[in-house]
Structure 1
């Protein structure tokens, strides 16, 4: 998808929705969005399951553990790290390492990391946060290159022109002697 492509809107009612979508898409592209989403989502099952109880008729199944407060702290920290990845990209390495460590700690503390529903997304989110690198803005290309046209010198250099025998850049000109080549370190004195 080309971010500079024109946006064509079918109806005026959809204009705000299209603009909002493109703004969200641009916002999402400048930060570790998926890392933040996985880390954010992983905090909920880790914090929820130690306090959850399942009722089947008269039977109540409680999953409370001794580490209930620890599970709540881990869950809230993962939610906070997920939000921090969205709004503070500079801490992505810290947040990635912290979410992986919190996911590992949630295994014994919080019912096997929320029965894996919190453990696995926390590991994925931490790995994505560590792998994400901010993009570098590209240099503005000249108008002839944007349109696909190249000047002849660049086209010849890219093609290599292997059909035509001739002097290469590393070869010495015909008038240079062996002592001239040694005097300038093997470099071409003419060019």
Structure 2
């Protein structure tokens, strides 16, 4: 490509990576991943066969169907966290409950591996909150809050009383006020 060309000048791997990072940032990605990773061992271990020479060890129990149902539901909840993040709290609570139920039903929760992953995924899903989108030109107002910048251009009738007062009172600065990062909150210094 020449410097004058208007074509894309980036490698396609970077473009896909950037798109994936944007997709991942808008949903509880790690919660869904942990829940998926927790559902797989819970569903797999009751049906697993281990071969030692000519001897076959089967881990199957009478609760194999229950383990399969719990594992499939956890995988489904993990995918739900990714593609329908609006129901993240429900999916998180349901995955925690299924993880707890998997202890007596599914070989001690998939030998504790599936239990722990599902429990962590559910907790991450409940605690995840979508990020705030601010304006690009001025992310923070004059007093360091997004609310001040959002209502800056509004007339006084539409702004709250606290916002009008914050805009009217200038921030006190000078020799008597220490505003450094290690200061005590902008209170008057003793010197």
In 2, the alpha carbon distance for the partners of 1:78 and 1:56 equals 31
C-alpha displacement at 1:142, in angstroms? 4.1
Q: Which residue of 2 aligns with 1:97?
A: 93
Compared CA separation, residues 142 and 131, structure 1 to 2 (3 A): closer
Name the count of aligned residue pairs: 143
In 1, the alpha carbon distance for the partners of 2:64 and 2:91 equals 23
Superposition map of 1:130-149 within 5 A: 130-142=126-138
In 1, the alpha carbon distance for the partners of 2:23 and 2:37 equals 19
Please give the secondary structure, in 1, of the residue aligned with 2:57: strand
1:107 pairs with 103, 110, 119, which one? 103
TM-score (norm 1): 0.69
In 2, the alpha carbon distance for the partners of 1:86 and 1:70 equals 25
C-alpha displacement at 1:59, in angstroms? 2.0
C-alpha displacement at 1:57, in angstroms? 1.1
1:15 aligned onto 2:28: no
Deviations 1:134-186 (A, max 9, x none): 1111133349x9xxxxxxxx9xx55622439xxxxxxxxxxxxxxxxxxxxxx
Superposition map of 1:44-123 within 5 A: 44-123=40-119
Deviations 1:88-129 (A, max 9, x none): 011100000000000000111111111011111000000000
In 2, the alpha carbon distance for the partners of 1:60 and 1:54 equals 6
Compared CA separation, residues 15 and 51, structure 1 to 2 (3 A): same
What 5-or-longer segments of structure 2 have no aligned partner?
A: 1-8, 142-166, 178-191
Radius of gyration: which is bigger? 1
1:27 aligned onto 2:23: yes
Q: Which residue of 1 aligns with 2:173?
A: 160
Q: Which residue of 2 aligns with 1:176?
A: none
In 2, the alpha carbon distance for the partners of 1:21 and 1:161 equals 47
TM-score (norm 2): 0.69
Compared CA separation, residues 88 and 67, structure 1 to 2 (3 A): same
Q: Which residue of 2 aligns with 1:41?
A: 37
Please give the secondary structure, in 2, of the residue aligned with 1:118: helix
In 2, the alpha carbon distance for the partners of 1:22 and 1:158 equals 40
